[in-house]
Structure 1
Amino acid sequence: MRTILTKALNKWFGNVSTASNIEQAEQLRQQQHVDLIVLDINLPGRLGTEWEEAFNDPSKKSDVIFMTGYADLELAISALKLGAADFILKPFNLDQMLKAVSRCMDRRLSERMNIALAREVQQKHSKQIIGQCEATLQMLQLIQQLAPSKASVLIEGESGTGKELVARELHQFSQRKGPFVAINCGALAPELLESELFGHTAGAFTGANKSREGLFRVASGGTLFLDEIGEMPLTMQTTLLRVLEQRTVRPVGSEKEINVDVRVLAATNRSLEQEVEQGCFRQDLYYRLNVVKIDVPPLRERRDDLSDLVPYFTRQLAAEVGVAEPQWAHQDMLAMQAYSWPGNVRELRNMLERCILLKRTPADLLDDNGDFDTEQAKLTASRQNQDSASCFGYPSHWSLKKVEKSHIQQVVEHHDGNKSAASRDLGVARKTLERKYKDWLNGEDCDE
């Protein structure tokens, strides 16, 4: 039976393993990931229904197809209660088994796709504006104040500052029932941008085999975010102005205008006012978009937010990569405070991701970069000396014991677990470090 099934299933799957009893099967299950177990009930030693590890191990969950030639109703019910995906009576034809295996594997694949899609959606859409410095709090207050309005908002800021996050916050607090739809105006060719925004009819141009709704109609009842609006061609600016004034769109190739209920938010990393002066952007469209403007400050102007951003990104990236969350040392926080961050928050996230993947510290990577703000470094060091309670990396509400434990662990980790080297840096004996770790292992409370 094992030989026949192995030969048949090897045509479909790259890794098919067999065992003659539960003990051998459990060894295989511990050594590798198993998606599906085809399990006989009457086996030498333990019965298939007694293989508790296969059903109760949440870290190695597998689907199970039971097969037996001695089935009765009570046995079938007990197998299904264990969580069996299917139950097949012997003798069976091979096609019957292959169909059961196919159903299980299709369901398994569908679950993985759903998990992957949910993870992707979470990464892209569950973000929030992080930070507690005065500039960030003022911006958040302005967002909440402007959100209920239908007025257009112009969002200006350097690349990587999080302009789309600001737009998403405006949409979220607006309570508009329609979707949030974003488009990068600089990423599409001018001849495609009009069709993308306003739609087209079948046969409107070569390749237009069927009609298509534009993003203005897709975002009906919601918010349309025009990113990099400064990249929009002048001819398209004229059309956009007309749409904003009349609240109607005309698909390419159509003579009929369609009403739309859309709030338009626009963002740019340029100064549109200067673009207007240089004749690169229509003045009337600028005034139409700039009913209210939100300036997103660069990261170098809100360095205090690093104390919130760094742990947030570190926790998020470590979970994505599937590694333990690293604890950055005090000198890492100082190095990040002293850096000028020309790429803003996007650069910070990318740098932390490199640190986690390469198992290096932020201080090392930033030292390689060499783009430090010397005056900021002096200011940071001075502030650290003046107020030890607000040291970067340790919340002010932590107890002294908790700070001591965290600092010791960071230094030991910095030396790749070498406690002798760590004890030299800390200025204590190696035995003192060993005693500390022994106390923590025995459950000594560090939160008192």
Structure 2
Amino acid sequence: MEVQEGELVYLSGFGSELASEDPRCPGSLPKNQNNPQRCPYGLYAEQLSGTAFTVHRNANKRSWLYRIRPAVLHEQFVRLPETPNGIVPDFTEFPPEPNQLRWLPFDIPLKEENQVDFVDGLKTISGAGNVHSRNGLAIYVYTCNVSMNNKALYSADGDFLIVPQQGVLDVTTEFGKMVVKPGEICVIQQGMRFSIKVRGPTRGYVLEVFGTHFELPYLGPIGANGLANPRDFLHPTSTFEDVTGKFDIVAKFQGKLFQAQQNHSPFDVVAWHGNYVPYKYNLDHFMTINSVSFDHADPSIFTVLTAPSVQPGVAIADFVIFPPRWSVAENTFRPPYYHRNCMSEFMGLIKGNYEAKAEGFAPGGATLHQMMTPHGPDVQCFEGASHAKLDAIRVAEGTMAFMFETSLSLAVLPWALASNKKDNNYRNCWQGLKSHFNQGEP
């Protein structure tokens, strides 16, 4: 199914076998076979594989690209200088940090002071595992103010799930273009080259997973419909650039950045087909499921995408949102309950005010609660919810919070712990919780 959005056309459907050709070259998609002896229009056939060739067919991810020049046509990769808050290959070297953590909104560089594009603006906050064993994840914040002009990035390490918080992203990929606004997300899968243009001060979050791909969670007893529906995921359609000149290709490889030059645009794909493609999703399309009787559903009921581990039901990472919804549960403490979790929880705020924190958690900031570290509503939220009249009410109106949840224990980078954006008084939000115990009264 095609979806029109402004001047762009998207194909919809999560995990579908899709195909697209640039209308300027009708018939550029070969018929009946993937790798003909001579491709139409003198194109090169190139396969991009996201899984091993021999995995089960229902799990196999690959796409065929028909391009003007093959991706191999570039100069030698050269290692880029490292920064102390940049890309990290291995998270086992950092000291453990069990405390509840919160950061104020991260500063966006001013153009007059410093020009920073998406690649230069990536800062690793936290992560687990390592890229060499292909097991783990990395969490980044990005802040930038200029576009990636004649520059493309790809990660050989994993999938990028990008969550814009401020500023519109014009994303060009080998498969076509996507416009991604705050309130939407996009996923650029392992190995896909992309470039991001911005329209001013820009900030957001990135979750990268190693060795697995994002998929829709199983719905189980929910049935066929609900949460994120496959038809609402949009994929770009082919639009090629036949442009020559100097282009930089930045590779994220084994947790380091390398750069190679080439004399043509990497976005010269005229046609493609397959099921391994970039995609975007509007979070407003999420169909929330919640309690309509009593008690509080687990936050996993708000999972948009999951990157599963080898253990059934346990994720390397879940992407969870807390969108506007109705709350109707009877005789129930409605905000998130106090809990200690065998999963680690990194939260960000796109807009509004999170329902379980009265203040301090602001758009563009973040919190991290490590596995088994207790957390929950602050004093004001607890007292208010404990005595509230339980009418049907809208929760989180005008708000969109999200969580990167993982079964792994997260390391925190030293720069993030030393940052002046770290809220050193975060734990004070619980210090006013007092005992209401009365032994003589149930």
Q: TM-score under structure 2 normalisation?
A: 0.23
Q: Which has the higher contact order (CA 8 A, sep 6+)?
A: 2
| Structure 1 or 2: more helix by fraction | 1
| Structure 1 or 2: more strand by fraction | 2
